[in-house]
Each structure stands twice: as structure tokens, then as C-alpha cells.
Amino acid sequence: MNSKTNSKEKILLAASNLFQTKGYAATGLNEILKESGAPKGSLYYYFPNGKEELALEAIKLAKQAISSRLKITLNSHSNPIQAIQALIKNITRDLKETNELQDMSLSLIALETYSSSEILRIACCEAFLSLQNIYTEKLLESGLPKDTANELGKFIQILIEGAITVSVTEKSPDALLTVSNQIEILLKSYLRKE
């Protein structure tokens, strides 16, 4: 890897981390440079349109990381209930260890930018849809009809995203544990029907 690519990746990784954990507005460009260790002029060299362009790329990077993590966990269990509960267990463990949203949620940046940046709102929307589709695919594999799997995939995405936000706010995993328990009840009722 050459030093130019390395600097760009360092900036992008630092920005992604900071935007997910501190938020878009609270993260300054100087802080991103400091965190990345990249030379000062490199930020505008790689991201000439500034913070919004950098945030767009950071959202894409975060979506890839979250999607990868989600797929690995869901694919490690054939039963969708066990797969989703394993995912929630992993999120709960990570929140207990770090109390940060890095590679778990895009809620913070989505909430901060939905009314101020159409480009970032769309990127967050696409990221949420991508995650929803991963849940939908898992449910389709279990034999649920497409319409049911689509609706439940969206519902599960909403539940988990909301539970992460509440758990971080309360500094307690209770919301995630509640979602885990209720997803089991919900999915068992659907899976019995098939």
C-alpha cells in the first residue's frame, strides 16, 4: 500500500469512527486529521469538497463494516431466531466493553444530518435499507414468503437500531435484551405458520 492510499484510508477510518461515536457536528476536521495522523493538506487533497464528502465516504465505509459483521453473525446460525439473538448478544457485549456505536449504528449521523444534508440523508437511508435487506434474506432462507420477510426484515432493523440508541442512552443493555426476547416470540409465530 502506498503512502497516499494509506493517508486517505487513515483519514476515512478516523472520520468514520468519530462520526459514529461523536456525531457529525461534534467532529471537526482538525480532530479527524489528528486522529488519523495524516498530513494536514491531505484531507482536502482526497476530499476536496470537505466534510460532507468525507462524511459520505465514511457512511459508506461504516455500512460495509456493519453489513459484513451482520452477515458473518447471521450466517453462523441456520435458525434466524438464533442468528438474530447472537447478533444482539454481540452488540450488547461490544456496548458493555466500549459504550460506543462504532460499526454498530449509523443513527447518530442520520439524526444529525437528515434535515441539513440531502446527500448524507440519502446515504444513511441506503445504509439502513441495505441492513434491512440482510435481515430479509435471512428470513427468506428460513422459508418465509417474500412480503412477510420484507416487512419483518424492516421491523427487525428498526427494533435493533432503536434498541441500540436506547441502550446507549440508558447505559444499560435492557432494551436490546427486550428486543432479543420479543424477536424470538414474534419469529416463532411466523415460522410455525410456514
Domain for residue 188, yes or no?
yes
**pLDDT band at 1; cut points 50, 70, 90:** very low
Domain for residue 131, yes or no?
yes
Domain for residue 173, yes or no?
yes
CATH of the domain at 164: 1.10.357.10
**pLDDT band at 111; cut points 50, 70, 90:** confident
Of 2-11, 33-42, 110-119, 136-145, least confident by mean pLDDT is: 2-11
The total of structural domains in the chain comes to 1
Looking at every residue in the chain, the average pLDDT score rounds to: 90
d(CA 177, CA 34): 37
Domain for residue 83, yes or no?
yes
The pLDDT of residue 113 is: 86
Domain for residue 19, yes or no?
no
Report how far apart, in Å, the C-alpha atoms of 175 and of each of 54, 88, 180 are.
32, 10, 9
Report how far apart, in Å, the C-alpha atoms of 167 and of each of 8, 16, 22, 131, 154 are.
33, 21, 16, 19, 20
Query: In which element (H, E) is residue 130 found?
Result: helix 118-141
Tell the residue number behind the cell numbers 422459508, with chain if given: 143
Domain for residue 22, yes or no?
no
Residue 191 has pLDDT above 60, yes or no: yes
Domain for residue 84, yes or no?
yes
Domain for residue 25, yes or no?
no
pTM for this prediction: 0.88
Residue 87 has pLDDT above 80, yes or no: yes
Structural domain boundaries enclosing 56: 51-193
- Closest of 1, 171, 142, 6 to residue 83, by C-alpha: 142
Q: Which residues of 16-49 are buried (b: 16+ CB within 10 A; e: fewer)?
A: bbbbbbbebeebebeebbebbebeeebbeebbee
